[in-house]
Every structure is written in C-alpha cells, then in structure tokens.
Chains A and B, each alone.
Chain A
Amino acid sequence: MRANYKVLIIDDNLIDQIVTKQLLRKKLGITEISTANNGKEGIQWLTNYNISAEESLIILLDIKMPEMDGFEFLLEYEMFSEELKKKTQIFMLSSTLDPNDIKRAKNSTCVKTLLSKPLPIKKFGEMIYPDAPL
C-alpha cells in the first residue's frame, strides 16, 4: 500500500519547477503538486493549507532564493503546529557546493536530507516508499 503524498516545490527557478514536477508525475505518479517561488510564498501556502488525516506532505526546498531563502523558511517552519510537522517531510534540493550550506542542511533537525539537482528520482522514490520500491 503506497502512502498518499502531496508535494510542495519551493524553488525560484521556473525551469527547475517544471523539471521536478514532471519527474514526480511521470516517474512516481504523484499528481498533487503545488509550487511556491520562494520561502515566503511557501510559508503562505502552508498557512492556508489544512492537512487531512490520511495525507502526508513532502516539501522540496531550494536554498538560494530571493526574499526568503531555504534556511529562513526552515526557521519560520518551526513555528507550525506539531500535527503538521509530524505529517511533513522536508527534502532540500539545491545545486549548492557551499560547505556551509551542506553543513547547515545536515544539522537541521526537520530536514530529511539534502539532494542535489536535478531531483535523483530513483533515490527519492526509495526514500519515500521504503516498502514498495519502483
């Protein structure tokens, strides 16, 4: 039995949004995908979102973004209810090579892992569907 995932892509790069969306759709069959152009929009989306009992949320979070970057988003995310956080997994998705960024992502408790762009779909699939690989 596959879990029912909803995905939020937070990325300022429109091309990367399209790429990630298509990979999720075509490779993993995930259709419920939302996008936000930066951290601020991501927070807004989360505020308006009412999570239902049977759903799980995955956030794919870019690091370098204008207005509010990935780490600033994480700080704000801490404020959300435990109920939401329990049902949410955050993956950072970036092409950064900055050791500072990598260290911060690793040290962040709510981040599952840091993935390098483009989304390594096979590895990602194994992580979110541990019982039923592709």
Chain B
Amino acid sequence: MTENKILENFKRSNIFIPLIIVVISCSSLIIINYLTIKILSASRAYVNGESHYSKGQKDATRHLITYLFTNDTSQWKLFNHELSVPKGDKTARIGLVNNTDIEIVKDGFRAGRNDERDLDDLIWLFKHFYSVSFLAKAINEWEKGDQLIDQLALIGNQAHKKISTNTLSTDEKEKIFQQINSLTQNLTINQRNFSDSLGEGTRLIKSYLLYTNIFFTFIIIGSVSIYYSLMIKKLRSSKQETEDKNRNLIIVNKELDKFVYSASHDLRSPISSLKGLIEIVKLEDDLDEIRDYLDLMHQSLDKQDQFIRDIIDYSRNKRKKVTTASVSINEIIDEIISQHFYIKGTSEITIKKNLSVDEVQSDGLRLKIILNNLLSNAIKYSDEKKETRYISIKTYTKGEFYQIEIEDNGIGINKEYLVKIFEMFFVTNNSKRGSGLGLYLVKEAVENLNGNITVDSKMNIGSKFIVTIPIKHEGQL
C-alpha cells in the first residue's frame, strides 16, 4: 500500500522534473542574457569614454604645440581645458581602485565627457569585473596612459612657466616638441591597446553568450519534448484504462443479465413445481399418494432454500473484501459435516481426515464456501451401489502453498464435463439437479484467495478436488 503511494509520488514528480528544468533554464537564460547585455553595454561605454579621452588628449596636445609656437595664452587655456577630460577619467579610475565616494567617481567620469546614462554601467563593470583578464588588461593600459598624461601636463606646465617669463629658447622649444610627439605616440599605443582589449573581451563574451543560448535552448526543447511525451504516454495509458474498464463493464453487465434471468428461473421453478403439486394434491384422494406429494413439496422447498443460500454466498463472495484471520480447517469441516447429517445416507459415509495443516491465516468465509460446496457435493453424489462409501480430506503444505485434497468414491464426473463444471449455472443430467452455482462459487472463492483448484475424476470410480492456496496471503504483506 505505502509502496504504491511512494511509486505514485515518484511517477508524479517524474512529470514535474522536465517542467522544473524548463523553468530553471528559462530563468538562467534571462539572467545570463541580462548580465551579458549589461556587460556589453558597459564595454561600449568604456570604448566611448576612451574616444573622448583620446580626443581630449589629442586636442590638448595640438593646443600645447600651438601655444609653444605662438605663445597665445588662449591656447594654453584650451590645453588645460582639453586635458581635463583624460584627467577626469583618471580621477574616476583612482576613485574606483581606492573605493572612494561614488559621487567623486561619477564627477570624474562626467569630466571625461561620458554620458550621464552610462555612469552606472561604467562603475558596475569596473567593480565586478576588475580582475577579469580583458578588463584588467584594459585598466592597466589606462593607468599607463594616465601616467603619460601626467607627464604631458608636467611638460605643459614647464613650457608655460618659461613662456610666461620669456625664457624659452628655440632649442628648448624643439626639445619640448620632440617630447610631446613621443608622448603622443606612446599614448596612441596605450589607447589602441585599451580599445583592443575591450573589443577582444566583448567578442569573447558574445561567443560565450551564443553558446549558452544554444545550450539552454536545447535543454528547454529537450525538457519540453520529454514532458510532452510523458503526457502523451499518460493520456494513452489512461485511455487504455478507460477502455479496459468499459470492456469489463460490458462483460459484467452481460453476466449480470444472464445471472438475473437464470436466477429468476431457478427461483421460480420450485414455486411452479409447488403450484403443480398443490394442483394434483387437490385431485388426489389416496392419503399415501398425498404424503408422497408432500415429500416432493419438501424437496422443492429444500432446493429453493439451497439456491437462495448459494445466491447469498455468491453475493458475499463478490462484494465482501477478503479479510484474514486465524481459522481452523478442522473446525470448519466438522461444522459442515454436522450440518449435512440430515441428508439421507450421510451417516453411512466414512469420513477420513488427515490434516497436517489446520490453523491457517486466511479468509474464513471463503474457506467455508470452498469446503462446504466440495463436501456437500461429495455427500450428494456418493455412489449408493458401493458397499463402503468414503470421503477423504487431506491437508498438507507444498512449498509456499498449502493444499486441501477432497477425494471420494462417488459416482464421478463424465470426462467431457470436467472443463465445464466450474462455469456458472452449468448442470449435468442427473437426478439431483443442483443450482449450477456451487462449483462456480468454489472457483471464485479460491481465486479470491489467490489460489487455484484442479479436479480429477472417473465415472463410477470417484472424484478428487485439489485446492492450492498460498500460505502467505497478499493482504498480510
């Protein structure tokens, strides 16, 4: 019972596993895509910032050189103005490295002419991917660039001092010019490296993104397919189940119809016999004859009584759940035999008992139905022509089963009927017409106990029924 429940739960969770995988995959995909887009957007912002940085530096250099050769102070102001762009970026970088106030960092980036909307992305990427190779390399180049910018500012200041005091010689001018040129060249290299490094990183991220997208898409498609096929399988099996149930219902209905008509016939026929007997008793004057008719009436009523008992057994056998309890086979047999003593000739039959199995864990009602019908048949169909009549009852264990063997030297069963005797309402042609229910009930009861029944019989010699029942009944497990 509990095992079944666990199995059921497992089966149910089996269906949910693909769904859970789909949900997890989808959310991972969304998160990864969001992060990647953010990284790519921030990288773009850095590339953008770099172009402002380069432009500022290049304009500043141009203004410094113009200032150097024209001594125009407005050029000196423009030099400082343009140089504030890379200087702002430097402030931001140092602020990020030293973890200073975020507003100082933002002011630095603003000075670096970065778009207000990019500031958060710039800071976020720096903080989270500081140590990732492509960004670390880019930052390294940036730092080198900043050093060169500092040198440029220094050269500018020295030149400005000398220009404002008019002490700058042509040679010095030439020398400063050379220095500025070489600085600019080095800066260009740093700037290019910075952009390249970022470009390389974004390309790498792009390919990673592509692979993860493909990977998760396959997982989602796979899980959905598994879920789909599981659902289809479930639908199919439930359809099959319904069809099986319908088929069984049709069979049960037919059986019920047949049962109702046969039962009503068998219930009515003793009544018709009684009515007929009453009819002829009315016409009879001979008292002895009337007595004989009364005997026949009694027989009719007995038959009907037996039939009603069988029907009740049938219904109990069908409806009542199998329950196990400790039962004594010996006690059941004794009870049945004492009930049959009123039947003519029972006392002349020797009953041999050899019970090596007595107390069993079984269903008392079913055992009683089995033993009652088999014993009552053995008594009813005993052979009056034989000098000694006997019924032998044996019980013994055989592996995981116990067997009940009921053997008699009665009239026996015609070989051609042996396959039919367990069918409902099957009766043979004999003077003691039964209801055709007895052996059917026995078979049903044996099957209820997960056992089976076999028969061996020879006409005029006797019959032997063997009932095999598992010792451990399923209900006990």
A residues lining the B interface (CB < 8 Å): 12-16, 18-20, 22-23, 26-27, 37-38, 64-67, 94-98, 100, 116-119, 121
Contacts and interface: CB of A to CB of B under 8 A. Distances in A.
Given A19-B276, A118-B276, 12 more contacts: A13-B433, A14-B431, A15-B277, A18-B280, A22-B280, A67-B428, A95-B269, A95-B272, A116-B272, A117-B276, A118-B275, A118-B279
B283 A95 contact: no
A16 B261 contact: no
Interface size class of B (residues with CB under 8 A): 20 to 34
Contact of B429 (A22, A23, A38): A38
Main secondary structure of the interface of B (DSSP, over half): helix
A98 B330 CA distance: 43
A111 B256 CA distance: 29
Give 6 nearest A-B pairs by CB, closest first.
A118-B276, A19-B276, A117-B272, A98-B261, A22-B280, A95-B272
Nearest to A101: B261
B392 interface: no
Contacts of B428: 66-67
A22 B279 CA distance: 9
Given A23-B279, A98-B265, A12 B272 contact: no
B274 to A, nearest CB: 9
B283 A27 contact: yes
A16 B283 contact: no
Contacts of B271: 95
Contacts of B427: 66
Nearest to A67: B429
A16 B272 contact: yes
A15 B428 CA distance: 17
A94 B265 CA distance: 9
Contact of A64 (B265, B275, B296, B431): B265
Contacts of B2: none
Contacts of A16: 269, 272-273, 276
A96 B265 contact: yes
A56 B272 CA distance: 28
Interface in B157-191: none
A117 to B, nearest CB: 4
A38 B431 CA distance: 12
Contact of B283 (A22, A98, A116): A22
B429 A12 contact: yes
Interface string B270-295: 01110111011001100000000000
Contact of B268 (A65, A95, A119): A95
Contacts of A98: 261, 265
A97 B269 contact: no
14 contacts: A13-B269, A16-B272, A18-B280, A19-B280, A23-B279, A23-B283, A26-B280, A27-B283, A66-B433, A67-B428, A67-B429, A117-B272, A118-B272, A119-B276
Contacts of B296: 15, 18
B264 interface: yes
A27 B283 CA distance: 9
Contacts of B273: 13, 15-16, 19, 117-118
